[in-house]
Amino acid sequence: MKFMLFALPTVPAETFAEREQLRPIGRNHDKYQQMIDELRKMAVFADQAGFDVMGTTEHHMHSEGMEASVAPMLLYTDLAARTERLKFAPLGLVLAAWDPIRVAEEVAVFDHLSKGRLYVGFARGYQDRWVNIMGQQYHSTGATMDGSAVDNHNRAVFEEAVKVIKKAWTQETFNHDGEYYKVPHPYDTGVTRWPITEFTNTYGAPGELDENGAVRNVCVIPAPYQKPHPPMMQPFGASERTIFWCAKQGITPWILTAHPESFRHVAKVYQDSANAEGQNLKLGQNMGAVRSVHFGANTQEAVDLLARTNFASFKEFFGPFGFFEAHRSPEDAEQYPLDPYTPLPPKEWTVQRMRDVKYALTGTPDQVKREIEALHKMHEGDGELEWFGWFFDQGMMSWEEQERQLEMFAKHIIPAFKD
């Protein structure tokens, strides 16, 4: 099994009272420097301990200090310079907030700087506060996966951007006549003011200019270091439509859904869809599960740590965005049906639920090891999960506790499951 260490990252505060006292903590210089220092130490530790990849999100304008991940590619450049083998993965770059060619360029540059130490993930964007602002060029807004017109528009923008990015990576020259993006622009006439036509015709890529000197195709540089491009991942797959798309594209989905029966269903959908495309995957292959892990001298100590870290962040921050829906069990369908959609109410957002559905893996190292073993065997022993992602609570506890948790994982978990 391969391992990802996943962090948001978070501007550190051990309590919400401290976060309130320092508001807006996201602009606090000392605390932001502390976050950078913790991420650097995490990356070095992960590199030496045997983690395969370190991942973060991309979000903007989070004055509260949660998900302070405004420039993941820039952060990875710093971390890559301090490590030797660890790979990095934005999970993911929110394409509504980017120009797709700029994404292709920045990813390819990092791919070269790190000599291939990169997986790349793209996301659609669900937080209105910043997606509505930074996605305005596409008229995109934050969207939940509810099949609404907003959701479908958001998905269409996302999928077209991925097409443009992959063209930029894999084709020496290309054009694109899309609904949301044109290459060149204007597409019908091409770029007509290009005074160095002779220079481009002599030294540029063949086919960039037509017989009248208009730009009709573009050549995006550099081509990625990895061929044909960095392997792609998708955070955090939940809807069957997303799983179908990942399978068709050969993308590794990361699954937050945790209840064993529900998780196996998603995994089977991915396997069947991928194999329909001729990929011949076994159950669990080319997919990952994201789970929280908390170690203690006994179960209660670990649960207490879970309660004040990962659970607290879900209850206060992620829950209102709908992320507790990943912690459903099949038994919820009667009281909180999916059709018509009835979300889990806050009274159902509990530590015990996170543990019951097997998202929060808590206890002694042996207890956690048994939980991960069941997940690795896809809960029924007829497959093997390829990727395990640890949702690590950087910034939610002291560095000393973070270090202790990392050391326990490195000592007891990685050696037991490492390929």
Range with lowest mean pLDDT among 124-128, 177-181, 283-287, 395-399 = 124-128
Domain with CATH 3.20.20.30 in the chain: 1-87+231-419
The answer to whether residue 392 scores a pLDDT higher than 80 is yes
C-alpha 402/C-alpha 394 separation (Å) is 7
pLDDT of residue 381: 87
Give the dihedral sign, CA 163/166/168/171. Answer: negative
Instruction: Note the residue count of the chain.
Output: 419
Q: What average pLDDT does the segment 42-68 reach?
A: 97
pLDDT in the model for residue 146:
72
Q: What is the pLDDT of residues 317-376, one digit of tens each?
A: 999 999 999 999 999 999 999 989 999 999 999 999 999 999 999 999 999 999 999 999
The neighbour count for residue 174, using CB atoms within 10 Å, is: 17
Can you give the pTM of this predicted structure? Answer: 0.95
Q: Domain 1-87+231-419's class?
A: alpha beta
Residue 232: the pLDDT is: 97
The string of pLDDT tens digits covering residues 62-100 is: 999 999 999 999 999 999 999 999 999 999 999 999 999
Place of tokens 């009281």: 335
Average pLDDT, the chain: 96
Burial 230-258 (b: 16+ CB within 10 A, else e): bbbbbbbbbeeebbbbbbeeebbbbbbbb
What is the reported pLDDT for 237? Answer: 65
pLDDT per position as a tens digit, 123-182:
999 999 999 999 999 988 887 767 788 889 999 999 999 999 999 999 999 999 999 999
Q: What crossing angle do the helices spanning 240-249 and 149-170 adopt, rounded to 10°?
A: 10
Candidates 231, 228, 261, 260; CA nearest to 374 is 260
Residue with tokens 């003011």: 193
Across the range 290-308, mean pLDDT stands at: 98
How many angstroms separate the CA atoms of 367 and 48, rounded? 24
Interval 162-176: pLDDT, tens: 999 999 999 999 999
pLDDT tens profile 203-259: 999 999 999 999 999 999 999 999 999 999 999 866 888 999 999 999 999 999 999
